[in-house]
Structure 1
Amino acid sequence: MTRKFKKGGYTAILSVIVIAAVVVLNMIIGRLPEKVRQWDMSSSQIYTLGKTTNDLVKGLDKDVTIYVVGDPSAVDKRITSFVKRYEDLSSHVKVETLDSVLHPDQVSKLKATDDSLFVSCEANNKTEAVPFSSIIKMDQASYYSSGQIKETEFDGEGQLTSAISHVTNDVEKKIYVTEGHKEATFGATVSDMLKKSNLTVAPLNLLTGGSIPKDCELLLMNAPESDLAADEKKMVSDYLSGGGNVMILAGYSETDRPNLNEIINEFGLNLENGLAADTKNFYQNNPYYIFPTFPAGNELTQGTDAKSASLVLQSGAMTQLTTLPQGVEVTPFMETSEGGMLVTADKQTKGTYLLGAVAKKTMDSGASRLTVLTTPSLIDEGVNTSFTNLNNMNIFMNAVTANYPDVTNVSIPSKSLDVGYNTVTKGGLWGVIFVLVIPALTLGTGLVIWLKRRRL
């Protein structure tokens, strides 16, 4: 055997070993969870699943299949990578790619739609389709103004977690929302969040309807400007006496609402005549723009981000009665700081005022629940779209779902896709360092190296 042949044999064997090692390494990496193979480096953490999703998926006892329906070469890689994270959480979740170009017959058989995530649970015989357009949201207005479509939000977790909850649960609840008192309408964000928790909204005019439906498990009043009629007051009182649940976003009104306040008084609370202000926790030098405080340990504030805050505007104020009615227990969950103030036309009264509270009344016939928020701006569309990091919607959804013992708040807000730039608003010393010092050091170092090389 010649030396040249031996050398070639060693090279061939080494090449085979390297190739085999690469193949084995790829196989090992391919079996690693998606979160290990691809780190979430996105600015808004669009691939990171929160506690709500983790609790739901890890607690599944039924198999769920998520079909990625579409042309695999055209499906956004952010969606495919994101979906695989659900499969990593539970053995009950399986992700499959369904090529709508090569296998349109399979798409038709499943009754799925192209360019969507199709979620199926055979045990419940339920399915849910999530269009890709509902996951990666676009600003259509920018197309008409600039000719370019701008991506604004990624709602993968919110849409997919809601779909999984829907197909694995048989629970579907309805909220009856009163009308006829100049109530405010729900914005798109609130409607979307309620839908994600499998809650449907039905309007109810107490006067024309004549009664509260028997299937009503939550009656909601959203910022009624005028008072309830005497007949309406009796309907609501009787409903609560029978063990019903009522939620009132009362707000401030220049019109007296004695009948509404009387219902609230029956549960140990009182709407004050005036606006709430806070001289300690406020936004942009406006004491009527309040950052509320939250008593520790309350179920309605669970899951809120400690790094963010809530913001309410032009809020009414509420106090607890000195002597509570028999069987009533009041639990505040949102209030002003000790720098709070009640402002009326003729005076200002300092104190800590309630902005949100839950009152439970125990009776021989059962228990009823009244949730009162003095600030409808908590769910104002303008506030929540302008300040996307607020806890407002999470608190509202916790307050709603707490009325249903078999409903969990799985409403997850979408995440912004806006690009964040690192800017220094006030230069000062940093401006001098980055504008003068660092460029000067760079030029000086380059000059020294150049001079040394010239001497060589």
Structure 2
Amino acid sequence: MTRKLKKGGYTAILSVIVIAAVIILNMIVGRLPEKVRQWDMSSSQIYTLGGTTSDLLKALDKDVTIYVVGDPANVDKRITSFVKRYGDLSGHIKVETVDSVLHPEQVKKLNATDSTLLVSCEATNKTQSIPFNDIIKMDESSYYYYGQAKETEFDGEGQLTGAISHVTSDVSKTIYVTEGHGEAEFGKTVTDMLGKSNLTVTSINLLKDGKIPEDCELLLINAPASDLANDEKTMVSDYLDKGGHVLIFAGYSEKERPNLTSVISAYGLNLENGMAADTKNFYQNNPYYIFPTIESGSEVTNGVDTKSAALVLQSGALTQIQNLPEGISVTPFMQTSDGGMLVTPDAQKKGTYILGAVSEKKLDTGSARLTVFSTPSLIDESLNTSFTNLSNLTLFMNAVTSNFEDVANVSIPSKSLEVTYNTVTHGGMWGILFILVIPAAALCCGLMIWLKRRRL
């Protein structure tokens, strides 16, 4: 055997070994979980699943199949990658791709539609369809005005976790929301979040209906502009005293609302006739834009990161009655700092004021529960879409779901796809350092080196 032939043989064998190693490595990598194969390098961490999803999947005891229905060539890779992470976290989750172009009969058999995720649970015989457009949301006005489609939000976790909870649970609750007093309407974000937790919102006019329905497990009064009628006050008070649950966004009003105030004061809280301000924790030099102090130890604050912030605007103020009625206990979960103030047309009174509290009354059988927020701006649509990192909506959903023993808060806000830029709001000495000193030092240093080399 010639030397050239030997060398060629070694090269061929080495090539075969390298190719085999690459094939084996690809097979191993292909079987690794999606979170290992693809790191979440997105600015808003769209692929990272939070604690709510992890807890739901760990407790899952029913098999769920997620069908990715569409033309595989056109399905956004972010969606397919994201869905696979659910399968990695739970053995009860199975992910299947249904090619709507090659297998339209399978799409029809599943009663699915193109470009959707179909979440199905055979044990409950329930399904829920999620259009891709509900996961990657677009700014329609941008296309209308500028002719360019602009992505705004990624709602994969919120939609998919809510769908899994829906198809695996037999629990469905109805929240009755009063009308007839100029109440504020829920925004789309709040409505979607309630739906993700299997909560249906139904409007009720107490005067017209004449009573609170027997199946009412939570009555919600959202920022009434006018007072309750005497009959309505009696209905709400009787409902509470029979073990009912009521959630009120009282808000500040220039009009007197003695009946609403009476309902609240019967459960140990005074709705003060004035507006809350905070001289220590406020936003943009406006003491009426308050960063409240979030108190731990309440169901309403569960899962709220101590580093995150809530923001309330132009809030009313609550105080606790010194001598609580018998059987009543009050737990504030949101307050001003000790720099709080109650501002009225005639005076300003310093103190710490309650912005949210839960009041419970022990009964012979069970207990009544009244939750009061002093401001409806907590769930304001424009506020929460402008500041997506606030804990406002988490507090709201916790306040709602804590009224039900068998409902968990699985409502997860969507994540922004907007490009964010680092800005220095107050430059000061740092601005001078980075804009003037460092560039000038670099220029001088370069000039000195250039002069030194030129002399050489």
When normalised by structure 2's length, the TM-score is 0.95
Relative to 1, partners in 2 of residues 1:54 and 1:8: Cα closer, same or farther, differing over 3 Å? same
> Which deviates the most, 434-443 or 88-97?
434-443
1:232 corresponds to = 232
In the alignment, residue 60 of structure 1 is paired with which amino acid? L
1:93 corresponds to = 93
2:362 corresponds to = 362
CA offsets, 1:195-221, max 9 Å, x none?
Answer: 111111000000000100111000000
2:248 corresponds to = 248
1:430 paired with 2:437, answer no
Counterparts of 1:178-197 in structure 2, within 5 Å, are 178-197=178-197
SS in structure 1 at match of 2:69: strand
Relative to 1, partners in 2 of residues 1:357 and 1:146: Cα closer, same or farther, differing over 3 Å? same
2:278 corresponds to = 278
In the alignment, residue 109 of structure 2 is paired with which amino acid? K
1:42 corresponds to = 42
Q: Distance in 2 between matches of 1:228 and 1:85?
A: 50
Q: Distance in 1 between matches of 2:450 and 2:93?
A: 57
Q: Distance in 2 between matches of 1:287 and 1:26?
A: 59
In the alignment, residue 385 of structure 1 is paired with which amino acid? T
> Which deviates the most, 436-445 or 279-288?
436-445
Q: Distance in 1 between matches of 2:421 and 2:256?
A: 49
Q: Distance in 2 between matches of 1:389 and 1:309?
A: 8
Deviation at 1:308, TM superposition (A): 2.4
Contact kept? 1:242, 1:366, Cα under 8 Å? no
Relative to 1, partners in 2 of residues 1:19 and 1:300: Cα closer, same or farther, differing over 3 Å? same
SS in structure 1 at match of 2:403: coil
Relative to 1, partners in 2 of residues 1:123 and 1:15: Cα closer, same or farther, differing over 3 Å? same
Q: Distance in 2 between matches of 1:277 and 1:196?
A: 34
Counterparts of 1:2-401 in structure 2, within 5 Å, are 2-401=2-401
SS in structure 2 at match of 1:419: coil
Deviation at 1:25, TM superposition (A): 0.7
In the alignment, residue 291 of structure 2 is paired with which amino acid? F
SS in structure 2 at match of 1:47: coil
Q: Distance in 2 between matches of 1:363 and 1:227?
A: 28
> Which deviates the most, 383-392 or 43-52?
383-392
Q: Distance in 2 between matches of 1:3 and 1:335?
A: 87
SS in structure 1 at match of 2:293: coil
SS in structure 2 at match of 1:404: coil
Paired positions, count? 452
In the alignment, residue 152 of structure 1 is paired with which amino acid? T
1:419 corresponds to = 419
Deviation at 1:439, TM superposition (A): 6.6
CA offsets, 1:114-140, max 9 Å, x none?
Answer: 101110110110101110000000001
In the alignment, residue 145 of structure 1 is paired with which amino acid? Y
CA offsets, 1:158-197, max 9 Å, x none?
Answer: 1010000000101111100001111111111111111111
CA offsets, 1:13-64, max 9 Å, x none?
Answer: 1111111111111111111111111111100000000000110012100111
In the alignment, residue 293 of structure 2 is paired with which amino acid? T
Relative to 1, partners in 2 of residues 1:118 and 1:438: Cα closer, same or farther, differing over 3 Å? farther
Q: Distance in 1 between matches of 2:242 and 2:449?
A: 83
Q: Distance in 2 between matches of 1:49 and 1:271?
A: 40
> Which deviates the most, 433-442 or 265-274?
433-442
Q: Distance in 2 between matches of 1:351 and 1:434?
A: 47
In the alignment, residue 167 of structure 2 is paired with which amino acid? V
Q: Distance in 1 between matches of 2:194 and 2:222?
A: 14
SS in structure 2 at match of 1:273: strand
CA offsets, 1:75-103, max 9 Å, x none?
Answer: 11111111111111111011111110000
Relative to 1, partners in 2 of residues 1:84 and 1:437: Cα closer, same or farther, differing over 3 Å? farther
In the alignment, residue 35 of structure 1 is paired with which amino acid? K
Gaps of 5+ in 2: none
Contact kept? 1:138, 1:151, Cα under 8 Å? yes
Deviation at 1:296, TM superposition (A): 2.2
In the alignment, residue 92 of structure 2 is paired with which amino acid? H
Deviation at 1:307, TM superposition (A): 2.9
Deviation at 1:305, TM superposition (A): 3.0
Q: Distance in 2 between matches of 1:387 and 1:175?
A: 27
Q: Distance in 1 between matches of 2:24 and 2:448?
A: 49
CA offsets, 1:261-302, max 9 Å, x none?
Answer: 111122111111111111111111111111100122222112
Deviation at 1:306, TM superposition (A): 2.9
SS in structure 2 at match of 1:358: strand
Q: Distance in 2 between matches of 1:214 and 1:442?
A: 81
Q: Distance in 2 between matches of 1:282 and 1:145?
A: 36
In the alignment, residue 431 of structure 1 is paired with which amino acid? I
Gaps of 5+ in 1: none
Relative to 1, partners in 2 of residues 1:405 and 1:442: Cα closer, same or farther, differing over 3 Å? farther
SS in structure 1 at match of 2:213: coil
